[in-house]
Amino acid sequence: MSSRGDHQTVPLSVLLKRELANEKIEKPEIVHGQANQSKKGEDFTLLKTECQRAMGDGVTTFSCYGLFDGHNGSAAAIYTKENLLTNVLNAIPTDLNRDEWVAALPRALVAGFVKTDKDFQERAQTSGTTVTFVIIEGWVVTVASVGDSRCILESAEGEIYYLSADHRLDTNEEERERITASGGEVGRLNTGGGAGIGPLRCWPGGLCLSRSIGDMDVGEYIVPVPYVKQVKLSTAGGRLIISSDGVWDALSAEEALDCCRGMPADAAAAQVVKEALQSKGLRDDTTCIVVDILPHEKPAASLPPPKKPGKRMFKAMFRKKNSESSSHADKEYMEPDVVEELFEEGSAMLSERLDAKYPLCNMFKLFMCAVCQLEMKPGEGVSIHAGSSDKVKLRPWDGPFLCSTCQEKKEAMEGKRPSGDRHSSESD
């Protein structure tokens, strides 16, 4: 029998297992499935569940899903699949607790996308890719997107939410204005007969999209800066559908969700692809990922439940996170199915996307590039606010800072310097 002064030690592995077991009580169950019909072999997916990471107050897990729809070859899609998550995680300090980590994700996603694009272009390959990238931490879903693949959410009560943005020149007037202001030209393909044909494209290059990773043969005003939306689901959960344009050119969001309702995730993904092919045929690579975010006691196939006809609403607006403090009772009393918007930003300007919304010391190492994480000597970095005409912004000697090559890329994306000789080639 041990004496009062003896201490029993618990192995670290046991503590970690206990932490993960406790965490599963609070976190949802994540179930996914995917399906694909290939025409060009340029769609790639990333499916990572139960990714472990250390944090300031213990150990936690997250899930990551990515869809990469390549064009002009598959090199950019493959490279992005292999490197993007690492680049995003490297942009997040290691000593953050869970809430700080979630808050840091939007800025880290921007840094990770830009670094991946910069590194790939240094390989001098002309391929490009769209990206829809989803990170699920607990009930918080964060989506970053460039291009025209989409991610939609249906909550447990059947409400539909759009978590990505289309960067097609045909449908996005704001992006057309940004490109022309940066020195690019937007127009349809001219075959010599006068009137242009086909979708609007950016010239030089002929790309139909305003944002992508890669595409070094197009002007740098085709930027890799993603639209980011972050939402928190209620504990009732919901279903995500992440698909390439091969699906969305054939099906609406409502049609995609309706055709697979009640099915488990793997069967649902296959059904969405089947419906898209029945509607339009196999004109393009057609890929679908279905992710069910479920309370642990609820079976996967039961979410989301059927809705009465005519009752579904398409949601572009979310319940905004209240920045003001409220009483504990107020926090406890919420609608049973509320999707709360935590963050949304779509600006293509790095000075706006890398700006700090929380204490600088918690997010940036003073002498490290905010994009590529390169360590710099004092005085070498260039503030992201340098050259800003906005008097409200921080002073140009305030951080965060960029290294010289990332600063050059920032200026090129903003049309402040020539982006170099580009070889024109038509792309999808």
In tens, the pLDDT along 362-380 reads 445 567 898 998 888 877 8
**Tokens, residue 20:** 């993960």
How far apart (Å, rounded) are the C-alpha atoms in residues 118 and 313?
Answer: 40
Q: How confident is the model at residue 328 (pLDDT cuts 50, 70, 90)?
A: very low
4, pLDDT greater than 70 = no
Domain range for 237 is 28-353
- Segment 253-281 shows an average pLDDT of 95
212, pLDDT greater than 50 = yes
Cα-to-chain-centroid distance, residue 218: 22
Based on the structure, what is the number of domains in the chain? 1
- Strand, helix or coil for residue 51: strand
How far apart (Å, rounded) are the C-alpha atoms in residues 207 and 227?
Answer: 19
Is residue 155 assigned to a domain?
Answer: yes
Q: What is the pLDDT of residue 114?
A: 96
> 11 versus 104: which is more confidently predicted?
104
327, pLDDT greater than 50 = no
- Segment 268-277 shows an average pLDDT of 97
Structural contact between residues 31 and 264, judged by C-beta atoms closer than 8 angstroms: yes
CATH code where residue 81 lies: 3.60.40.10
Is residue 119 assigned to a domain?
Answer: yes
H/E element, 131: strand 128-137
245, pLDDT greater than 80 = yes
Is residue 381 assigned to a domain?
Answer: no
Is residue 9 assigned to a domain?
Answer: no
Give the position of tokens 């905010």: 370
Q: What is the pLDDT of residue 9?
A: 61
14-73 pLDDT, tens digit per residue, is 555 555 555 554 789 999 999 999 888 899 999 999 888 876 556 788 999 999 999 999
Q: What is the pLDDT of residue 163?
A: 97
Is residue 391 assigned to a domain?
Answer: no
- Segment 339-358 shows an average pLDDT of 84
What Cα–Cα distance (Å) separates residue 222 from each residue in 145, 201, 213?
14, 11, 9
> 66 versus 310: which is more confidently predicted?
66
Characterize 144-175 residue by residue with b for buried, 16 or more Cβ atoms within 10 angstroms of its Cβ, and e for exposed: bbbbbbbbbbbbbbbbbbbbbbbbbbbebeeb
> 386 versus 28: which is more confidently predicted?
28
303, pLDDT greater than 60 = no
- Segment 206-220 shows an average pLDDT of 89
Q: How confident is the model at residue 147 (pLDDT cuts 50, 70, 90)?
A: very high
Is residue 364 assigned to a domain?
Answer: no
Is residue 308 assigned to a domain?
Answer: yes
Give the position of tokens 């097609």: 168
394, pLDDT greater than 60 = no
229, pLDDT greater than 60 = yes
Q: What is the pLDDT of residue 205?
A: 83
How far apart (Å, rounded) are the C-alpha atoms in residues 200 and 205?
Answer: 12
**Tokens, residue 350:** 């790095």
Average pLDDT over the chain, rounded to an integer: 81
- How long a stretch of residues is the chain? 428
Q: Taking CA 265 as the corner, what is the angle to CA 290 and CA 35, rounded to the nearest 5 degrees?
A: 60
Q: Which range among 122-131, 263-272, 418-427 shows the weakest confidence by mean pLDDT?
A: 418-427
Highest mean pLDDT among 154-168, 212-226, 290-304: 154-168
Q: What is the pLDDT of residue 57?
A: 59
Q: How confident is the model at residue 275 (pLDDT cuts 50, 70, 90)?
A: very high
Is residue 158 assigned to a domain?
Answer: yes
Q: What is the pLDDT of residue 355?
A: 74
- Segment 232-255 shows an average pLDDT of 96
193, pLDDT greater than 70 = no
